[in-house]
């Protein structure tokens, strides 16, 4: 398999983002045939000394986990992106560094996304969760459902809440982080931190010196020290695509950016595809709810972003959940991935028809796509009303919001 193409995540803060909203977006570039599911997990209390089984290893569970909504490759435990009930959003990027990533099975970067969401009430708390688990368990293991070779990576994270974002970049158990509270920030599959670091592993610099990567003199530049010597990835065009927006950035701007194939933000290549996308809107005014949009289907330029709001009584959406194979899942048995089961969920199957029509029939495809965007627009307008209403949100009205949107989409494809 070729090296992974750039996968992007973005955040925009007011005043660049409109109306006092923080806007977050992520495209997940993964192997073309991989299915992503969108799954809600309610908040839960756990027994003392209980364990949680992550993708490859089990770790100690905490007394309580927050409610989360995640988009994840259907074969693993963690998440590519997601949000929790406290308005924390996290996405990760696989990165290569001077230090090769461990192939030994440990926590995946995607496991740490989910663990951060389950355990952190703020972006900074989620960061602290991730780095402490990294210290304790390390990161490693295959990022792809591939029996033939192990694709292991280091990880970078964009961790966002209503007030601030943290860019966290890791090399093994070592890490550095930068706090962001204004403007636009993008991360992709390469190190981006330079000399501004607001938090770091206590032994980061001494480790770099011990490896001969830094002399200990002059300014410490994280990317220069830890980037691979031959780093051919270019994330520039993608980063510019949002930063160069002249108008205020809205949820629609973010969706348009994620759909942009010309800049390379939306991937559609021989081996890789943007297999799922997510956008979140986090009002800095806490009297308004955070709204999270997920596609649950590949290629955002041919998908519908569907809204979700955390309330106490969320209606589960089995139609975006892949079949469960339990202990018989080839991802759970060793040696792993000896076969690939059909992980397509109901929405994915219905959407395959739409993708085929758009690709094969120009006229019908154009009509289909405009109808899809019209469906999406109705959802965006309804959410706009919630964010501008003086009335408090009625939880009963939005508990089945995502369920209804998925149901409507499937009926429309049929």
The residues near 117 (Cβ < 8 Å, ≥ 6 apart) are 66, 68, 70, 79, 82, 83, 84, 88, 90, 126
Helix (H/G/I), strand (E/B), else coil: 157: strand
Kindly report each contact of residues 395-401 with a partner whose C-beta sits within 8 Å and lies 24 or more positions away, as own/partner.
395/311, 395/312, 395/313, 396/313, 398/289, 398/309, 398/311, 399/311, 399/312, 399/313, 399/314, 399/315, 400/315, 401/307, 401/308, 401/309
- Alpha carbons within 13 A on the beta-carbon side of 161: 19
The answer to whether 9 is a known catalytic residue is yes
The residues near 381 (Cβ < 8 Å, ≥ 6 apart) are none
CA distance 41 to 52: 14
Helix (H) or strand (E) holding 189: none
The residues near 328 (Cβ < 8 Å, ≥ 6 apart) are none
DSSP bridge pairs for 274: 29
CA distance 189 to 25: 15
> Residue with structure tokens 């994330």?
235
CA distance 11 to 382: 23
Nearest to 82, CA basis, from 64, 93, 68: 68
In terms of C-beta density within 10 A (0-12 exposed, 13-18 middle, 19 or more buried), how is residue 16 classed?
middle
Helix (H/G/I), strand (E/B), else coil: 392: coil
Catalytically active residues are: 9
């Amino acid at each position: 398999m070729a090296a992974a193409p750039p996968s992007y995540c973005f955040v925009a803060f007011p005043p660049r983002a409109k109306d006092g909203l923080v806007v977050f977006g992520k495209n997940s570039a993964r192997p073309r045939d991989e299915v992503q599911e969108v799954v809600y997990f309610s908040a839960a209390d756990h027994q003392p000394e209980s364990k949680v089984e992550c993708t490859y290893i089990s770790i100690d569970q905490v007394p309580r986990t927050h409610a989360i909504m995640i988009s994840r490759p259907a074969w693993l435990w963690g998440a590519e992106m997601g949000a929790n009930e406290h308005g924390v959003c996290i996405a990760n990027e696989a990165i290569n560094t001077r230090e090769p990533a461990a192939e030994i099975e440990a926590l995946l970067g995607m496991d740490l996304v989910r663990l951060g969401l389950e355990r952190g009430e703020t972006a900074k708390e989620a960061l602290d969760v991730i780095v402490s688990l990294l210290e304790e368990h390390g990161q490693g293991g295959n990022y792809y459902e591939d029996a033939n070779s192990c694709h292991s990576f280091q990880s970078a994270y964009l961790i966002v809440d209503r007030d601030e974002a943290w860019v966290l970049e890791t090399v093994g158990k070592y890490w550095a982080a930068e706090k962001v509270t204004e403007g636009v920030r993008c991360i992709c599959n390469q190190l981006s931190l330079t000399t501004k670091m607001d938090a770091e592993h206590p032994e980061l610099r001494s480790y770099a010196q011990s490896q001969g990567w830094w002399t200990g003199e002059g300014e410490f530049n994280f990317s220069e020290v830890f980037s691979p010597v031959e780093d051919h990835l270019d994330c520039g065009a993608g980063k510019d695509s949002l930063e160069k927006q002249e108008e205020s950035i809205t949820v629609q701007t973010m969706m348009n950016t994620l759909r942009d194939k010309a800049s390379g933000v939306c991937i559609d290549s021989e081996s890789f595809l943007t297999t799922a996308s997510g956008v979140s809107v986090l009002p800095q005014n806490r009297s308004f709810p955070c709204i999270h949009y997920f596609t649950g289907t590949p290629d955002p330029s041919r998908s519908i972003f569907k809204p979700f709001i955390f309330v106490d009584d969320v209606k589960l959406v089995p139609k975006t959940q892949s079949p469960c194979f339990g202990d018989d899942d080839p991802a759970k048995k060793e040696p792993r991935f000896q076969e690939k089961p059909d992980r397509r969920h109901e929405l994915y199957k219905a959407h395959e028809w739409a993708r085929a029509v758009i690709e094969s029939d120009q006229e019908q495809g154009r009509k289909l796509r405009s109808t899809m965007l019209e469906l999406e627009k109705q959802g965006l307008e309804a959410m706009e009303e919630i964010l501008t209403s003086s009335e408090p949100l009625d939880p009963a009205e939005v508990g089945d919001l995502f369920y209804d949107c998925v149901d409507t989409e499937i009926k429309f494809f049929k």
